Amino acid sequence: MSELVSAWVEKIRHAAGSATPLRIEGGGSKRFLGRTVDADVLDVAGNTGIVSYEPTELVVTVRGGTPLAELEGVLAGQNQFLAFEPPHFGPRATVAGCIAAGLSGPRRATVGAVRDFVLGVKIIDGRGEIMSFGGQVMKNVAGYDVSRLVAGSLGTLGIILEVSLKVLPRPFAERTIRFSCSESEAIRRLNEWGGQPLPLSASAWADDTLTLRLSGAWAAVDAACVRLGGEAVDADVAAAFWVGLREQQSGFFNADDSLPLCRLAVPSVAPPLALGGEQLIEWGGAQRWLRTDAPLERIRTRAAELGGHATLFRGGDRSGDVFTPLDTAVLAIHRRMKAAFDPAGIFNPGRLYQGI
Amino acid sequence: MKVDEETTLGERDADFSAVDKARVVEALARVLPAGALMYEAEDLHPYECDGLAAYRALPLVVALPTTEAQVVAVLKACSALGVPVVARGAGTGLSGGALPHTQGVLLSLARFNRILDLDPHARTAVVQPGVRNLAISEAAAAHGLYYAPDPSSQIACSIGGNVAENAGGVHCLKYGLTVHNLMRVRAVTIDGDVVEFGNHALDAPGYDLLALMTGSEGMLAVVTEVTVRLTPKPQLAQCVLAAFDDVIRAGDAVAAIIAAGIIPAGLEMMDQAATAAVEQFVHAGYPLDAKAILLCESDGTPEEVAEEIARVRAVLEQSGATEIRVSRDEAERMRFWAGRKAAFPAAGRISPDYYCMDGTIPRKRLGEMLTAIQDMETRYALRCINVFHAGDGNLHPLILFDANQEGELHRAEAFGAEILELSVTLGGTITGEHGVGIEKINQMCSQFTRPELHQFFRVKAAFDAAGLLNPGKAIPTLNRCAEYGRMHVKDGHLPYPDLPRF
């Protein structure tokens, strides 16, 4: 155990003993996510470095504080990448922050989310105990899948010391094409294409424009472009577009930010939201970003009606229900799960839900 | 007491000897219709084991509910009486996960056998847990869709069991395991609460309890409904068969394929002993002089497949393959696969008994593992044939023995235990896809530390505080670990000998 980690263990034991809450922070790039936590910061950015990387095993094990950009650079050196295309939301974004936030980028609908690529974690729990779950292999059903549980838990279950991730080779070919179409037409087409063996890797609809990315073998991408038609987008422009989308820095996201940004996760086939405001649709229809003055309750009701849920992603009241409230029985399981990992309730209390 | 010495209720070696069969029968008869409750010995026998037939036990009673309300009522009754409950799907599991509890209720979900909804536009199917894996793909076929995870027992195994075991298959390097292809699970807790994890969107609020449920071996809740993601069927699949005069070289070729940026739809390896065993059984046309053969499958559009196959062929040539054959048509592709899929039955044909292991190791350690297995063959004086999901490092050594020969069973057990322990030492795991169940529970003590095992019990207690769901499986009590010296398992005779196992 490094000196740094031993110091954290001490600090955690002490905090647990005195029930002193801690706000776990790496690069601070996703500080805006979730509910406000009023607590002293435990800075976990210092625990850096790649523990092991075997390109031919498609696995990398990396310390939590490692900058996401550094990891991506190392993978790029071997022509590999994190296929879930995590948003950074800032130059200091860390790997542990990426896992804890559980946010996936444009490729999510076709390759999977952060949790789909998590193979193992090493954490410190709220007792100051260091534990490892999962491992460095693709297939592993020994014990409960705690590593995937940790993904997206917003630091409420433990501090991520290390994570093992499945990585993939970069696609041989990538092309972006564009169509003019309405919202309902975009949703219809995206779902139709999604049911066909096409090499889709990302989609975005806003301002009556549907942008599609195709990735894979050259032959497959070229054939799909011919079949789908549309207007070809220059490779550099396309690359900037998808990064801008992932980082929420362009177009729709740059517009009026006086209104809160809501994220609706709905079935891809869900019809237009009809909630007014401005909208951007990703993930083949399954992720809808919305800026509207409609009340959050109304947005939540609509999301639930469609079979999904709505998150107050940026802005608005950060002390309220930022995430869709859980059913009673599921909430009770959450409370007990939180207590199982963090009995004194010291890790990011309230970041996810009140009391969790 | 130190914090890490705290124990949860389910963690103690539970004593259910006070369970009164008459009271259980009476309570369940009140909530189940006629014909849904069995408690006479002759009715219980069909349920005495799952696919790991070496372990057998008669449950107190078997409950066969047909509705979720009945499942709720059964679980509430069991909870009130403190009776263990073991959920069972099709009973094809290979690790004894559905082995009945002698003082408990065996809860069969076999009658939950309907596909409730199949939406080709949304590419989802809502199914009851007793629906067979393959039945989903059959129902989706008309729409050009299928359910990707294809465990070898897919013609018989149920989706509920697949969820419980996080079932894999030969295509999971490219298409993922069960956990990657589930959208939503509806389940009943031991308290009788109906809960849903996941939804028909791509994520759900709160902790990822859907992932946690997947592979939890019936320890957390009883699944009553599942939504799976359907995948567009590839237009074409083609398979390359490559022969090598050295096993290590074959392993290196696997690494070279991955290094070339290729993720094949399937990537399997067999050693010479395995090839010889299956060849006399199915006549797949495998080269018998090869020390190892690789099967590498590509799927997609015809253009895509042609491009990938060319790439694979180039890598295999550079990797020193002594022979490369590319399937020319569907019949030949099926023939290439027939041998691989017949490995388990072939083992049963050349040996009175065999014992199948399921460790996963980092692929680069394959050479060490195979060398060690060779050494073990000498030490235990038993033969072992090796089939390997090479793409994802999941090794299935089949230890051949004859239970009627004095000492062979014992040696096979010790042989298997040593392979599992070595899998952990090499940085892998004791089970890649068959689950821990009762079979590998002792090896869990080697793979996890005391705090980690404690934590597993706490996770279970968050769902099942009294420890009534499938007690004694998946996670060993610390007492058990303390007593564990060597693994003691019986022969690995498979029921359903006709089912392909690979």
- Listed by number, the residues of chain A in 142-181 with a beta carbon closer than 8 Å to a beta carbon of chain B are 142-146, 148-149, 151-153, 157, 168-170, 172
The confidence score (pLDDT) of residue B493 equals 40
pLDDT band at B13 (very low <50, low <70, confident <90, very high): confident
Distance CA B56, CA B99 (A): 7
pLDDT at B218 over 90: yes
Compare CB distances from B455 to A56, A113, A131 and report the shortest one's residue. A131
pLDDT band at B345 (very low <50, low <70, confident <90, very high): confident
Q: What are phi and psi of B37, to 5 degrees?
A: -135, 130
The full 3-state SS of B271-287, as one line of letters, equals EHHHHHHHHHHHCCCCC
The confidence score (pLDDT) of residue B342 equals 86
Q: Which of B79, B54, B37 is nearest to B437 (CA)?
A: B54
pLDDT at A315 over 70: yes
- Please report residues of B whose CB lies closer than 8 A to that of A266: 201
Q: What is the DSSP string of A159-216?
A: EEEEEEEE-EEPPSEEEEEEEE--HHHHHHHHHHHHTS---EEEEEEETTEEEEEEEE
pLDDT at B494 over 80: no
Distance CA B330, CA B475 (A): 44
Across the range B69-82, mean pLDDT stands at 98
- Please report residues of B whose CB lies closer than 8 A to that of A198: 232
- Listed by number, the residues of chain B in 436-475 with a beta carbon closer than 8 Å to a beta carbon of chain A are 436, 440, 444, 447-449, 451-452, 455-456, 458-463, 465, 474-475
Neighbours of A276 (CB within 10 A): 12
Q: What are phi and psi of A278, to 5 degrees?
A: -105, 150
The model's pTM: 0.95
Kindly report, residue by residue over B201-214, the tens digit of the pLDDT: 999 999 999 999 99
pLDDT band at B491 (very low <50, low <70, confident <90, very high): very low
Q: Do B200 and A308 touch (CB under 8 A)?
A: yes
Distance CA B239, CA B262 (A): 14
Report the share of chain A in percent with pLDDT over 70.
100
The confidence score (pLDDT) of residue B492 equals 38
Distance CA A106, CA B382 (A): 52
Compare CB distances from B122 to A54, A146, A268 and report the shortest one's residue. A268
Distance CA A71, CA A68 (A): 5
- Distance between B314 CA and the closest CA of chain A, angstroms: 16
- Backbone angle region of A43, left / alpha / beta, with phi > 0 → left and psi within -120 to 50 → alpha: beta
Per DSSP, helices labelled H in B214-246 are none
Number of H helices, E strands in chain B: 17, 18
Kindly report, residue by residue over A215-237, the tens digit of the pLDDT: 999 999 999 999 999 999 999 99
The confidence score (pLDDT) of residue B490 equals 30
pLDDT band at B281 (very low <50, low <70, confident <90, very high): confident
What domains does chain B contain, in order, with CATH numbers? 3-108 (3.30.43.10), 116-135+144-232 (3.30.465.10), 236-341 (3.30.70.2190), 345-484 (3.30.70.2740)
Across the range A327-345, mean pLDDT stands at 98
CA distances from B388 to A122, B236, B366, B369 (A): 28, 24, 10, 12
- Distance between B74 CA and the closest CA of chain A, angstroms: 18
Pairing between β-strand B61-63 and β-strand B105-108 as defined by DSSP bridges: parallel
Distance CA B225, CA B238 (A): 35
Pairing between β-strand B105-108 and β-strand B85-88 as defined by DSSP bridges: parallel
The confidence score (pLDDT) of residue A136 equals 94
Size of interface A-B (CB pairs under 8 A): 280
What distance lies between CA A295 and its chain's CA centroid? Answer: 25
Across the range B90-111, mean pLDDT stands at 96
Neighbours of B452 (CB within 10 A): 18
pLDDT band at B499 (very low <50, low <70, confident <90, very high): low
Q: Which CATH number fits domain A3-169+333-341: 3.40.50.300, 3.30.465.10, 1.10.10.10, 4.10.490.10?
A: 3.30.465.10
Distance CA A242, CA B297 (A): 31
Distance CA B491, CA B386 (A): 18
pLDDT at B8 over 80: no
Average pLDDT, chain B: 92
CA distances from B411 to B336, B367, B387, B415, B422 (A): 33, 23, 21, 6, 16
Tell me whether B300 touches chain A (CB under 8 Å): yes
The confidence score (pLDDT) of residue B7 equals 58
The confidence score (pLDDT) of residue A266 equals 98
pLDDT at A139 over 80: yes
Token pair in block for residue B19: 């369970």
pLDDT at B498 over 70: no
Residue B179 is classified by DSSP as: G
Three-class SS state of B326: strand
